[in-house]
Structure 1
């Protein structure tokens, strides 16, 4: 989908994302509640990852090069995170609100999260609505094929060496490879018939027919692979992706490849683990336990008006 500018011209969202500094993209995220408030649209904060919500039971996720001092109490770390958000985004956000005739806010994170966020899939917490997985049915047809290994990094800007590592790993295990081009515009390394690069694809149909899924640890990709019952290897690149990779490992449905720069050998070793019979069986077992009504529950909750501006 393209997006129209105020002048009536059409801009490509991907191009805008590619050229926009990370701090500006983050500011858009923190400012969504203010934009909704200005337009009179109800707002609810939804998240896939419990570690993104303040709690004394865990530390904040690392973001933008931030680090945690070992041994620091979680409450102190969350307070420091709030201070960092406010130092980085509060002045510009309040400037925008003032220019729009809106009152200033005191805390960016509290403004973004609201008092009742919505959490997908994970154990419930005080003040948090827990739903099932947020999945919309996708039944576009797909031809039958032998089970290859899928490699996709979505919107992550990984380098071309990831293509070489992916295809090299698949060949090491005598598997065919499907490489998602994604935002990094990955491609195959040669013209051999055992590998192919693709664009948009029906994950819900494709993942059921794969030997394994190698991905960046995104919430949607991880959930779709888990629902398909297909073993997975998560190669997290940033933020909550490391939490999802840990979850894949803890559930026994795949392997967490915690190095952000995989090699053919490291991916082959991770895939070898994920393709073991016990892991394959466990992936099928967990698949049957996943609820798929989460999107509907979340939508009804939002539309009920329980959590608005």
Structure 2
């Protein structure tokens, strides 16, 4: 009887060892496969170290008369780049509250958000949520420029997000985000969005107006006050609630911002018909200075005066 028990025990131990060896082997093979995928993906990734010096997105080139009258705006993407230090803190915090409240705390990735998105996507059988941080959105829109929602692109995004956090400061990443994001009405970045919706620079926005801009990230056309004032007001309230909840705004200022009437100025376009010959002179001057890209508004900061 004892011999039978001993033999049975030896058999269990033997099979246990085999199972453990198999588990180790499969684990090593799995780790090797993951490492191979990462290696293959990394070979195809851009160098984030060049982003600080090479970020030159399309901007608006404004053609002015001698008296400062706006004659025309030339652009491929309607954007005016603004430095992070020139954007009011309450505007920056509104976007952070709306999109990535722990932006200054994480290292580029929100693992809980990614896990939640993975579960949602798994249940749906397709990619529906991204769980992206502000850093990941900069990677997706500036470095990868790939709208496809695939797991391969997400892997690239994760790797580049960590690299970006190592090479750029948080403020530099936020500056890229606030200048590159699409905010409806054909406007890119917070400066052009502020001019479009409120007729003034982002430097002059109130807390209420900054919260409204921050709310546009969830749907630039859907929550635009020009399209649906009620929906825009509700969305602004959500952003203000988030700012108060995260400690970005005290209760008194949040309540005052909620009471502020929300409105948008009528859209104003440049009237090149005022002086078409001056506009054409401006185009020619820009072509001579910087080539065809400047005449289309790709090169920023050029002003042609008649």
Q: Into which bin does the TM-score normalised by the smaller protein fall? A: under 0.3
TM-score in terms of structure 1 length: 0.25
TM-score in terms of structure 2 length: 0.25
Structure number with higher strand proportion:
1
Higher relative contact order (CA 8 A, sep 6+): 2
